[in-house]
Chain A
């Protein structure tokens, strides 16, 4: 079993009367990627700020590789690489100068610093732009340089706080390629996002947080097992479904739930194999079926199931 790298224990933080983080606990194992998900304002960034030593928790403790993290220049900080949500780059310094600065903050210098800068630039595919200023970069390139700046000191744990905000799909894929490379190298990651598909792609373990509290802390497979439906069927009819039709669908074998929305039906299925029978039944009801689609349930459904609301609400 992998050893625990980071342990967050009953951490709380309040701003005045508002409790931003309320008794949050979770762990990150060596080589594990943890997805920290929740809607905007859930407490993800506050939790990350406390892990990075930028904020002092009101209670609880955060232990990184055996050392408690607090504010100030602790050794534990050397083991963490932080990619903040905002671009933390000096736009008027070249890419290389930016990396040299952040490397020097972690005590790197001389040939080692130069070598690490070259490696980091190569990893994020910016080696040919070393002398260019970020002011001339696209949003995606800046995000990649932001990640490179966090890798220079070879951290054991890389924390990425919403690293794909404002990034086009092509750059997002480039960032994911980089992160998957890091994952295969055995590096531990904490990835915060409110985009479920991003977290699903990367995470081995998911912590769902809302209103400052942990709602779930499990593997993706375990989370999916919580859901009565493992697949979803959406059917668009020529007219709005009647109450009798909804009751009829609900009574079919394998149907875990049904909801009408305009002319559409959202049907939860215990297994995708039940979809043909449900569609056949619908075709016999006299209301023409215009269109249908099936999908696997997503973390979005899990969040909805846990909180009763959408992640993007």
Chain B
């Protein structure tokens, strides 16, 4: 026991004395987690960022102005009015994702095409091909505004002239087409509705004039969205915090890097003769390996805790289950230590082992969802990555932070980490013993 404690103590002193390692394993993940966290929505109080959209307003009609006003009022958009040339230049330069042109006469033409389906006006939309997802979002919001304004124009009292014109065209075509005859009947009813609205508005205007009051505004008519959404972010505990996932991901990545350093350290010790000197003492290979594994696990645990203390203090990340977090961190730390032993067991030289191990680690953390959350992966990738221990590690830390689960919610990730620790450690010990013979 004295020997084991001495070996562990030695490794801890060496690690703390190594400022470069501390910098790499502690400061770098905090900086990168802060960066990625801000990209993925930041803290729970952060507002959703708006999309900047260029607007070329060439339609000075009532409908055109209403469409522009509706877009400006949308909380998801920041509208920047531009000339056509400016809009094209900004999109080409990548300074704007999307720009919309409302051509002259667009509003009236759209209202005219609402029921007839003919002579649909074109609405030019310029977009940056690298930001095609923005195009879909802006088109959705634009459709909402255009439909509201054009349907109001078509169905309101001032739309009766358009309706009359459409009726005249339809009557000429309706003779041999029953569907056009039905549309004609619908437009006759609409015309009556518009005439009645016009008469009501004229009465209200006359009454107001007699009383010396200003004319009342037109009551809104036309089609509106038939629903409103009630948005609720759901998790079992604290509100979603983008930093929580980023700290989990970066923590897993950089602690695995520490595991690589640990394995490479053993290879260096074997090269320099320190390893043989340790084994010349009356201690078993298991004690020497165990000492390295225990010290590696303690360092990994300390790093993960330090990172999450930063996350809690600076980025308001909440831990929903302290026992769950510690159990998760301990199991991941053991897996990391076993991973380090595996590198040492199979590495031929420190240089070659470091290169291969860094490559393998980067693949593991990428598939594990450490860089971007695994839920953005295609379904088959989400299934396939369940064989990677990092996937379970990141999911486990997510579970006890922003998902708000307790110890029972991380039992499977913990079991998986321990299983990988046993497998990695077992294979490493077998190889060490084989080499010793």
Contact = CB atoms under 8 A, between A and B. Distances in A.
A101 interface: yes
Interface string B273-291: 1101111111111010000
Nearest to B274: A88
Kindly state the interface size class of chain B when it binds its partner: 20 to 34
A97 B3 CA distance: 14
A279 interface: no
Interface stretch (A71-79, A175-183, A232-240): A71-79
Given A54-B280, A56-B437, A101 B274 contact: no
B6 A101 contact: yes
A100 B3 CA distance: 10
A16 B279 CA distance: 23
Contacts of B376: none
A82 interface: yes
A174 to B, nearest CB: 21
B272 A88 contact: yes
A49 interface: yes
B209 interface: no
A80 B280 contact: yes
B282 A89 contact: no
Interface string B1-14: 01101110110011
A118 B273 CA distance: 25
A54 B276 contact: yes
Interface stretch (A105-113, A197-205, A298-306): A105-113
B272 A86 contact: yes
A93 B13 contact: yes
Contacts of A53: 279-280
B282 A77 contact: yes
A73 to B, nearest CB: 4
B119 interface: no
B17 interface: yes
A287 B412 CA distance: 96
A101 B7 contact: yes
B280 A77 contact: yes
A215 interface: no
B286 to A, nearest CB: 9
Given A56-B437, A92-B18, A72 B276 contact: no
Interface string B409-437: 00000000000000000000000000011
Nearest to A48: B280
Contact of B278 (A92, A93, A97, A105): A105
A89 B274 contact: yes
B7 to A, nearest CB: 7
A87 interface: yes
Q: Would you call the interface of chain A mostly helix, strand, loop, or mixed?
A: loop
Nearest to A149: B277
Nearest to B10: A101
B274 A90 contact: yes
Contacts of B273: 84-88
A72 B281 CA distance: 9
A255 interface: no
Contact of B272 (A56, A87, A106): A87
A102 interface: yes
Contacts of A101: 6-7, 9-10
Contact of B277 (A84, A100, A104): A84
Contacts of A108: 2
Interface of B is mostly: helix
A72 to B, nearest CB: 6
A148 interface: no
Nearest to A79: B282
A82 B274 CA distance: 11
A107 B3 CA distance: 7
Contacts of B3: 104-105, 107
B393 to A, nearest CB: 30
A89 B10 CA distance: 12
Contact of B276 (A84, A89, A106, A109): A84
A124 interface: no
Interface in A240-274: none
B244 to A, nearest CB: 35
Interface string A145-166: 0000100000000000000000
B274 A104 contact: no
A52 interface: yes
A159 to B, nearest CB: 9
B265 to A, nearest CB: 11
Contacts of B13: 93, 97
Contact of B281 (A71, A85, A105): A105
A230 to B, nearest CB: 40
A54 B437 CA distance: 9
A88 B281 CA distance: 12
A263 to B, nearest CB: 46
Contact of B284 (A72, A82, A149): A72
A101 B283 CA distance: 12
A89 B274 CA distance: 6
A82 B2 contact: no
A109 B2 contact: yes
Nearest to A146: B277
A88 B9 CA distance: 17
B276 A100 contact: no
Nearest to B281: A105
Contacts of B280: 52-54, 77, 80, 82, 84
Contacts of A73: 281-284, 287
Contacts of A54: 276, 279-280
Contacts of A71: 285, 436
A118 B436 CA distance: 34
24 contacts: A52-B280, A71-B436, A73-B281, A73-B287, A74-B282, A77-B281, A82-B277, A84-B276, A85-B273, A86-B273, A86-B274, A87-B272, A88-B272, A92-B14, A93-B10, A93-B14, A93-B17, A104-B2, A104-B3, A105-B281, A106-B281, A106-B282, A107-B2, A109-B2
Interface of B: 2-3, 5-7, 9-10, 13-14, 17-18, 272-274, 276-285, 287, 436-437
Given A74-B282, A88-B276, 4 more contacts: A93-B10, A101-B6, A102-B277, A105-B3
